[in-house]
A and B are shown apart, each in its own frame.
Chain A
């Protein structure tokens, strides 16, 4: 069995070869220097310019009298001040919500999906309500990666929060080209490869071989931290995750939306212009928990849990299964400040339990020995 501590926040993952200066995050603030007026649960303010080559020291959250360490190391120098991330699609390119959200208090922002070639998105209607969630058929819609970088990277570089670009492509070559364009761009902290993208019938994340070629292509093209975003539509996620790790991914995020369908009100066809859509929201959470559980036991790199996070209990569930961080997607649309509040609530949860480091919450629900793989959709098979 793999030692569980390898996927624990604050611990450096095995794969940290490049010494890379990521934008300054939070350095420890001595309790005495803290202004008394900060609202309860707020994280320490960013202090810039002090990040050493091995990344900044972890943040201390000392409100409530007790310091709580929330920092998370995703590898290759990407250290988040707290484990709650705005997932791709939840906050556009960040600039749209910059006025509404206290950016320094987010763990990271992941942009909406972009690719080298511009894309126009799917026909309307693009969303449909489903029980406990939303079905989305937005599709890739962006002016092309170069335009996105030209327009937003300068702003990102000024923000005290790491911005991770969610990258898609029709081929491994496309992904590599995109990753090369992002390499060395100030303001880009990491690349998240959307393995639910791909060309024609070939979606990267459905099998280990395509995943491997996609991630390897990106790895060769950039020194940035690379995060592989899995789709639960794959058959054997352990093999896919392992392939991503071996191809050079620094971390894994799981999961993307799951393909679904809704019927139009007049029952004359599908509710979405794109016919199929992606299910997100609480309806997706059990699937995401299952995937995180399986993947954490299969790889040594850190895992970010995404799917249906809306409350601090959801965050705690993902951490208990070994995720070191969580992404908030659709829930942030109605409530852009939700990820920040979840980070505060997580610190409170640590305090209530007398814990000084959020790492202590990670992996508590994992079995002592590796559990069996899920039975690939046939839950009654033996």
Chain B
């Protein structure tokens, strides 16, 4: 984790009420990976010092600029180009892509798309093919294609049918699950639970062997390890509220598959789906 006195270099509204903010923060950009977040110092009008977590939407090592999606309210509504902020990061554990995966399926709903956005860049850089399935309430809240690289296949679902498939983004997954080597998702807990359940039944449906199980024997990697995550078909970024980001407050707990609480700020925010306990979707 590094601290940077970052400067806001660009701020524009990309969706109603959602702003893309670009910060010049070379120390934080260095080594940042998809799935990680930053913790931005903001001052609550009530006098409580706060930091707000934001997933890193993009990070460009060449320019030292990272982008975040922010709302137009509260602290984020007051910042203007040229303003400075104290940004801590990169924090948390990133998405782990198996080096052998060629086809990546990304699934996101609403504002949570920002949590998988950076993974698109990483995948394109590594010459993998990417399908991004995105769900929104209505056409006007669909993440703009102009913010995505051309290489990505972008498929949209809207709840009201005003653009693309009518219904949930989860409906689109079946079509791609045979194609995908790995899937990465971000969205509300109900979507993640649905995807986790689908992923758990995938092998039986498809009758495929799991990556990395060439030889039958050998001890499987410990749950939560980088190795185990790399081998997982589905990884999810949870949207748990982050308070301290230092693993002290325990405010960010998510229930692990064995019932023990995991900290989204430290063990996450990315988890392999089978590390977590999922309610019936």
Binding site for B on A (CB under 8 A): 89-92, 96-97, 100, 112, 120-121, 123-127, 131-134, 136, 138, 141, 281-283, 308, 310-311, 330-331, 333-336, 338
Contact = CB atoms under 8 A, between A and B. Distances in A.
A127 B49 CA distance: 15
B51 interface: yes
Contact of A124 (B44, B244, B247, B253): B253
Nearest to A281: B48
B141 interface: no
A354 B4 CA distance: 37
B243 A127 contact: yes
B251 interface: yes
Given A92-B248, A125-B241, 15 more contacts: A91-B248, A124-B254, A126-B250, A127-B243, A132-B45, A133-B46, A138-B249, A281-B47, A283-B46, A308-B47, A331-B48, A333-B243, A334-B51, A334-B244, A338-B49
Contacts of B259: 120
Given A97-B246, A141-B261, A334-B244, A121 B253 contact: yes
A273 to B, nearest CB: 9
B248 A112 contact: yes
Interface centre among B47, B48, B243, B260 (most CB of A within 10 A): B48
Contacts of B247: 92, 96
23 contacts: A90-B248, A92-B248, A96-B246, A97-B246, A97-B248, A100-B246, A120-B259, A121-B250, A124-B255, A125-B241, A126-B251, A127-B241, A127-B251, A133-B48, A136-B251, A141-B253, A282-B47, A282-B48, A283-B46, A330-B48, A333-B51, A333-B244, A335-B49
A88 to B, nearest CB: 11
A141 B250 CA distance: 8
A89 B249 contact: yes
B202 interface: no
Contacts of A121: 250, 253, 261
Interface centre among A126, A131, A136, A283 (most CB of B within 10 A): A126
Contacts of B260: 120
B128 interface: no
Contacts of A333: 51, 243-244, 246, 248-249
Interface centre among B46, B248, B254, B259 (most CB of A within 10 A): B248
A281 B50 CA distance: 11
Contacts of A336: 246
B41 interface: yes
B47 A311 contact: yes
B58 to A, nearest CB: 25
- Top-4 shortest CB links A-B: A132-B46, A92-B248, A333-B244, A127-B251
Given A126-B250, A127-B241, A138-B249, A331 B49 contact: yes
A336 B45 CA distance: 20
Given A132-B46, A331-B49, A126 B244 contact: no
Nearest to A282: B47
Interface in B43-65: 44-51
B69 to A, nearest CB: 18
Contacts of A138: 249-251, 253
Nearest to B266: A96
B268 to A, nearest CB: 12
A133 B49 CA distance: 9
Contact of B243 (A97, A132, A133, A134): A134
Contacts of B41: 334-335
A303 to B, nearest CB: 23
A123 B255 contact: yes
A331 B255 CA distance: 26
Interface in B16-58: 41, 44-51
Interface string B233-253: 000000011011011111111
A310 B49 contact: yes
Contacts of B51: 333-334
A127 B243 CA distance: 8
Nearest to B260: A120
Interface in B220-244: 240-241, 243-244
Contacts of A338: 49
B191 to A, nearest CB: 15
Given A120-B261, A121-B250, A126-B253, A132 B244 contact: no
A335 B252 CA distance: 17
Contacts of B252: 126
A331 B44 CA distance: 11
A138 B250 CA distance: 6
Nearest to B44: A132
